[in-house]
């Protein structure tokens, strides 16, 4: 099992700092490349550029929580939630399709 994790491409966990604008203020966020790739995937699914997606997340957290203690950590956890929900959604869809393929009891084939 350790080989699966230890053999990953070092580029995926290389830190990248990206400059963004939040409410007209320039800021930079440092995340590992794998998190940036996941955030780009989420933004693409939402139909918006990464910078707008990150700004939208920032605004929503401020509205709901009033403060963001560590925005980089928030973004990492957002990626984890996304990946877990994708996995769960995929499993639910597969289960529904499997259920549709099974004959109803008493039905003749």
The DSSP result for 35-93, as a single string, is: HHHHHHHHHHHHTS-HHHHHHHHHHHHHHHHS--S-HHHHHHHHHHHHHHHHHHHHHHH
Q: Tokens 């963001």 map to which residue?
A: 68
Q: Where are the domains of the chain?
A: 8-101
pLDDT for position 104: 53
Cβ 36 vs Cβ 53: under 8 Å: no
Q: What is the pLDDT of residues 54-70, one digit of tens each?
A: 999 999 999 999 888 89
Q: What is the pLDDT of residues 27-38, one digit of tens each?
A: 999 999 999 999
Enter the DSSP assignment of 6: H
Give the integer Cα–Cα distance in Å for 31 and 76: 8
pLDDT > 70? residue 92? yes
CATH architecture of 8-101: Orthogonal Bundle (1.10)
């Amino acid at each position: 099992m350790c080989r699966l994790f230890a053999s990953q491409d070092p580029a995926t966990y290389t830190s990248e700092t990206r400059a963004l604008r939040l409410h007209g203020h320039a800021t930079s966020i440092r995340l590992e490349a794998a998190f940036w790739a996941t955030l780009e995937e989420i933004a693409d699914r939402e139909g918006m550029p990464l910078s707008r997606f990150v700004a939208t997340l920032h605004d929503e957290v401020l509205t709901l929580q009033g403060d963001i203690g560590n925005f980089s950590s928030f973004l990492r956890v957002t990626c984890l939630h996304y990946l877990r929900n994708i996995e769960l959604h995929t499993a639910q869809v597969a289960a529904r399709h499997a259920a549709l393929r099974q004959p109803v009891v008493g039905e003749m084939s």
